[in-house]
Structure 1
């Protein structure tokens, strides 16, 4: 009998533990705070780049749809939302996350209203001039897969949730004889859609499209070349009886970019748009659709819409596949379940509630892009403008290359390698379809934005290949890497001349190293030798007299050294000064150190860089965590045999640069990069040089972190890092054990992680200067 009692008790304990694990996994979405970083405020940031620029609306992991409040259309407000702004102009179905350069998307803007129909949005300064509404800040709620607020001008509660290709809105109206849902089909962040079409299909359904070209501004105010069409298929749960279209008469010769669209002249045309009741089908330059009805007090009216970048039929299929009924709460629960599953790829124990919220919100932000652009049937818009079909991979878009090659994509190689594989396939096929022999640098909806510098896909490809992620046309991918560094590289000169020559030369040298690595693995010895030599071209712009990197002109002469020397912003650099940019030689740290005068001098210089960084870590001239070029710098101490300083400073950055607040990101979130840095550093791992499988060990924020591995790409099921005795004071690694055996290195190889197992770290309040130095 005792045996059975013991067996029952053991089984109960095991069951309870398993249940607790499941409950824990199911509740991870509750730690997500989408308001972290949701501000574009330049005043709070102290620099024109602004803060995080995230959006607080509802989305799903890597989903095509993001249903989010929009408070602003113009300016450098890529997410369309800024927390400190007091009125909302509507709820759009597409958004970008954490970007500058004026932004794009923000399409299909839905607004519930009452009273007289207004056809323009109005402004932040004068919201009463349009259909936008003030909203109750205390009423505003955001969580993974959900957003709601009270529009106080209309006394309407707005709620939204999302599926991968669809969105659903629930509006709770007051008693009113003239309630309404209106959709601004022309609206676009940073500009306007240039042509729209809408058709009433039946008593509950509309469909149509919105064409967005560079002539309508958008990404880089049109300089980003974004050219896409958003298709929609929309259903209402209240019949369309009193409906119509508004159409603004925009003259043919008018420029339709950001400044012009926001001008009084243009907005007057929109305000005086012709209202056309009962029109069932319309194409035009500036259209909107409305449906009006009487409502009882607290009556709920719902609408749902499928979105596609391929066709109306695709949008319809997406909606019918993902949101079949009108149960908003069930749709919300499905979105939360998708987030719980995605976030369960990393489990953490220990830390404060705020630290958990910062961590899982960071992980959440890494799971927005590169988003899917394929419909449920696998169709996607090709780079040649034709509809394409894929069953081999999910077509993805929004590759913020210069940002994400540093942390975001290395993180995904561990927890989501299939995404990395999708991205490589997406970029290879895009080049094919556009008949280009190089990779796009910063891709948005098949457009090459011309934004930033370097050849970041060479890094992503080299890192993927090194880690065994190879389910794509390897030979084509390699050829595109070669084409990339030949088109954008240091070439025969051995440096990049011009106003940003330091940044370009250093980044190109790293990219050429990536190609050399690929050439070696793929048995192209001549290429390997050629690009390995070019990877050392960073030495060609180091001025021994000044003791630092310095730009050269076309003839090879030094550009005049400024009075403030290497502290001069934009002196040969991009968004940085040479002091910050000069550390970017990840492919040859030893060579860099020798060039800079040796280990002791370099350590002293790094110590100075960190010592003079402001406590709040906002934009500054020293360690500027708000901008990507320095993101590898704290880990250089590992390479300099002083790993305790890597441990010290990564913990400091995690504490000072990431908080559970709207201002909780010190700079633009940058499509997952800023957040991925935190996820990796807080886990206790981060690379210096993607393409090299060495992963630096640092001080974990949490007592235990488990990374779930993909069995298609890794031998192990999970890799766990345990930090014994971890605390806010005990930030230094005293000793380590890897799978039960003493471990004295301050780094792991990727294969150690992929094999599964456990790294145990014993922590203490003082550095152990004997650990990790061999």
Structure 2
């Protein structure tokens, strides 16, 4: 019998910010499914190191309670950094090891990483550190050497992409400290402040060893001192922190750069435990979160509880077949798709809204970290099948954010109630419409529609050149904005049609055809136009920029997911097929960042499935399996690019099942090449009538990746696509696989 999926999870997959190792930018520490706490090691503060940990680093500066998975843009969170040390107290993290700061060297062979657990030996101090997590609290176990001056110190100012700007700490009793850390754009963080993240982390922490000798350190930070990412990285700023005043016996303090420490002698092998509840609402919320999640000191029990939560979260998906490496990649991908959107509310349902005031919800879980431009493509279509409840929570949360922010339109990239404006388009529209059309509707439909409509039709603040787009059919100077606007117009048109708002639907359907305005047959590609309608200078399809966001015209030009037949008509079928084939044939097998099929970034994630529309489904089968085998793997190098809050893994999961959407809101999945012999999905009875949906691939192997024939519920299936409704009523999809393409199987949607 094969191991449970939970036993194959390897959180080290993608845990690097180095190009050499794939830049997956995941974190390896323990968390629970969609949990508020992510307790993980940190190897660096600053730079473009969003997860705070990178495998190629040689030292650890501590273990913080909040992290983000797979992101760039300098990152955020990484709050409440706990570090065990011995010897003289150091108040600054340093750059080398214990000789110049509180950080320590470590070796990867001492790391143990699995679902709900992380351990490492801090070589400079000979301390074994072990971590485990509950949904809203974390527990650390430190095994000390014999020492007259052992210590646990907590850097309250620390933040992944900058610093918290103000902190408070109070010694409540001889085992407990409580306080908060305020993080604003002035302290860097998301987008080095441009992401507008503004939040306060409250904590209630307890120590198993009584507080006898303790204190606070406080660095003198002048009012004139800037504190963005580059400032806190500077030698001058770090010198200020290293020279912080140490206030022994201080029981309460508020300041600009604080830390707390407790010192004690230890015998060889003595264990000291630290636990903390975290809340974005209040200290009382943090206290109650800790009381509910970790009432005692049973480290093994908390770890086993975390593991059971993951086992339960993954039990809706069962796989048979595949190699151990494929099972590891699949299990970890499922794990990574269940980190966000995380719960942002306390155990009592209270949360901080976009108006930075506390609110209460009992009807849904308020969630945060919506990386819209990434996750509308694969992550939310996947969740709509395996976790429709999380999709429903997300829609309610996006509605709340839009209303409480006063903006009147939907967030593009939301972080703790703030709309960061990161990336482009109106991806929340796709997520909301997709949910509604799939029957996930436990939200205010009227509000949802109005916000979608306002986002695409009346939003002049975050949609650039909206008037010109409406008048001329293109965004001047931009391929990406024009194409994405057209798709999100299509999404809203579908919503309008479903609600009987036919005038809106008619207008938006017309606008969804705006992609046609920027196709230039003279270059055989989408091309940006100037404001007067003339073409911008052409530098070749593979040159980045030219009106493309994080891509080039060759990559971005395929983004017409809602009307692929129309795109084929524009380009000509044979040219479309030849141009698409060359796009893949020129892609390097190592999938490093490249000007062709660059799977490391989202603009191309639907492109392998376009061959089906051109009557060549076997080429979709070929290239999907190629991507599955080469862009993903095991260990640190297991991701070819940023995980992007679950998107990269969700693409893998759907494609491994054997299908993936091109246009999520149309409820159609294009069939690719299933990776496993059998995959069974257990459907949520609160949303869907079916009990299970099973995909079986007979004769499947590394060489047999071409579909020879297919059957759905025992009846021949001659088309290379499925409808969402066919999945959620339950049943069985069977494939017969072979080593050569069957050129006569698989019709395209609409044929």
Please give the TM-score of this superposition, normalised by the length of structure 2. 0.98
Whether 1:574 and 2:526 are equivalent positions in the alignment is no
Tell me the equivalent position of 1:360.
Answer: 331
CA distance in 1, matches of 2:636, 2:107: 17
Displacement, 1:544?
Answer: 2.3
Gaps (5+ residues) in structure 2?
none
Whether 1:38 and 2:9 are equivalent positions in the alignment is no
Whether 1:587 and 2:565 are equivalent positions in the alignment is no
Tell me the equivalent position of 2:262.
Answer: 291
Runs of 4+ with >6 A deviation: none
CA displacement 1:93-127 (0-9 Å, x = unmatched): 0000000000000000000000000000012x566
CA distance in 2, matches of 1:173, 1:560: 65
Asked if the contact 2:5–2:327 (Cα under 8 Å) also holds between the matched residues in 1, the reply is: no
Displacement, 1:491?
Answer: 3.5
Tell me the equivalent position of 1:674.
Answer: 648
Tell me the equivalent position of 2:495.
Answer: 518
- Structure 2 counterpart SS, 1:734: strand
Whether 1:770 and 2:741 are equivalent positions in the alignment is no
Match for 1:348 among 313, 319, 322?
319
CA displacement 1:613-670 (0-9 Å, x = unmatched): 0011111011100010101001111122211111111111000000102111111000
CA displacement 1:345-404 (0-9 Å, x = unmatched): 211000000100000000100000010001000000111111100000000000000000
CA distance in 2, matches of 1:181, 1:474: 51
Asked if the contact 2:474–2:518 (Cα under 8 Å) also holds between the matched residues in 1, the reply is: no
Displacement, 1:42?
Answer: 3.0
- Structure 1 counterpart SS, 2:113: strand
Whether 1:601 and 2:575 are equivalent positions in the alignment is yes
Whether 1:256 and 2:234 are equivalent positions in the alignment is no
Match for 1:66 among 38, 61, 67?
38
- Structure 2 counterpart SS, 1:66: coil
CA distance in 2, matches of 1:748, 1:310: 44
Tell me the equivalent position of 2:603.
Answer: 629
Whether 1:233 and 2:207 are equivalent positions in the alignment is no
Listed as ranges, the matches of 1:723-742 within 5 Å are 723-742=697-716
- Counterparts in 2 of 1:298 and 1:479: CA distance versus 1, 3 Å: same
Whether 1:87 and 2:59 are equivalent positions in the alignment is yes
Tell me the equivalent position of 2:526.
Answer: 549
- Structure 1 counterpart SS, 2:638: coil
CA distance in 1, matches of 2:730, 2:523: 47
CA distance in 2, matches of 1:323, 1:170: 13
Match for 2:484 among 507, 510, 525?
507
- Structure 2 counterpart SS, 1:653: helix
Displacement, 1:712?
Answer: 1.0
Whether 1:661 and 2:635 are equivalent positions in the alignment is yes
Displacement, 1:740?
Answer: 1.1
CA distance in 2, matches of 1:497, 1:28: 46
CA distance in 2, matches of 1:182, 1:127: 14
Asked if the contact 2:341–2:370 (Cα under 8 Å) also holds between the matched residues in 1, the reply is: yes
- Structure 2 counterpart SS, 1:483: helix
CA distance in 1, matches of 2:261, 2:64: 15
Tell me the equivalent position of 1:186.
Answer: 157
CA distance in 1, matches of 2:112, 2:302: 17
Displacement, 1:450?
Answer: 1.6
Listed as ranges, the matches of 1:209-288 within 5 Å are 209-288=180-259
- Structure 1 counterpart SS, 2:307: helix
Please give the TM-score of this superposition, normalised by the length of structure 1. 0.95
Asked if the contact 2:98–2:124 (Cα under 8 Å) also holds between the matched residues in 1, the reply is: no
CA distance in 1, matches of 2:245, 2:298: 36
CA displacement 1:104-159 (0-9 Å, x = unmatched): 00000000000000000012x56631000001221011111110000000000000
CA distance in 2, matches of 1:493, 1:138: 61
Displacement, 1:554?
Answer: 2.1
CA distance in 2, matches of 1:517, 1:494: 22
Match for 1:130 among 82, 89, 101?
101
CA distance in 1, matches of 2:244, 2:59: 23
Tell me the equivalent position of 2:658.
Answer: 684
Asked if the contact 1:87–1:127 (Cα under 8 Å) also holds between the matched residues in 2, the reply is: no
Listed as ranges, the matches of 1:188-203 within 5 Å are 188-203=159-174
Displacement, 1:496?
Answer: 4.2
CA distance in 1, matches of 2:56, 2:591: 21
CA distance in 1, matches of 2:245, 2:300: 38
Tell me the equivalent position of 1:430.
Answer: 401
CA displacement 1:254-299 (0-9 Å, x = unmatched): 1000111111111111000000011100000000000000101000
Match for 2:624 among 635, 650, 672?
650
How many pairs were matched up? 741
Asked if the contact 1:64–1:371 (Cα under 8 Å) also holds between the matched residues in 2, the reply is: yes
Displacement, 1:495?
Answer: 3.9
Tell me the equivalent position of 1:708.
Answer: 682
CA distance in 1, matches of 2:296, 2:86: 26
CA distance in 2, matches of 1:770, 1:543: 33
Match for 2:469 among 484, 491, 504?
491
CA distance in 2, matches of 1:581, 1:157: 48
CA distance in 2, matches of 1:454, 1:719: 33
CA displacement 1:241-264 (0-9 Å, x = unmatched): 000000000001110001111111
Whether 1:111 and 2:83 are equivalent positions in the alignment is yes
Displacement, 1:503?
Answer: 0.5
CA distance in 2, matches of 1:603, 1:227: 48
CA distance in 1, matches of 2:605, 2:354: 32
CA distance in 1, matches of 2:472, 2:37: 44
Tell me the equivalent position of 1:533.
Answer: 510
CA distance in 1, matches of 2:99, 2:413: 38
Displacement, 1:599?
Answer: 1.5
Whether 1:393 and 2:364 are equivalent positions in the alignment is yes
Gaps (5+ residues) in structure 1?
1-19, 46-50
CA distance in 2, matches of 1:685, 1:176: 58
Asked if the contact 1:35–1:56 (Cα under 8 Å) also holds between the matched residues in 2, the reply is: yes
- Counterparts in 2 of 1:191 and 1:498: CA distance versus 1, 3 Å: farther
- Structure 1 counterpart SS, 2:579: helix
CA distance in 2, matches of 1:41, 1:382: 35
CA distance in 2, matches of 1:526, 1:120: 62
Tell me the equivalent position of 1:15.
Answer: none
Displacement, 1:498?
Answer: 4.5
Whether 1:53 and 2:31 are equivalent positions in the alignment is no
CA RMSD of aligned residues (A): 1.1
CA distance in 2, matches of 1:353, 1:385: 47
Listed as ranges, the matches of 1:434-445 within 5 Å are 434-445=405-416
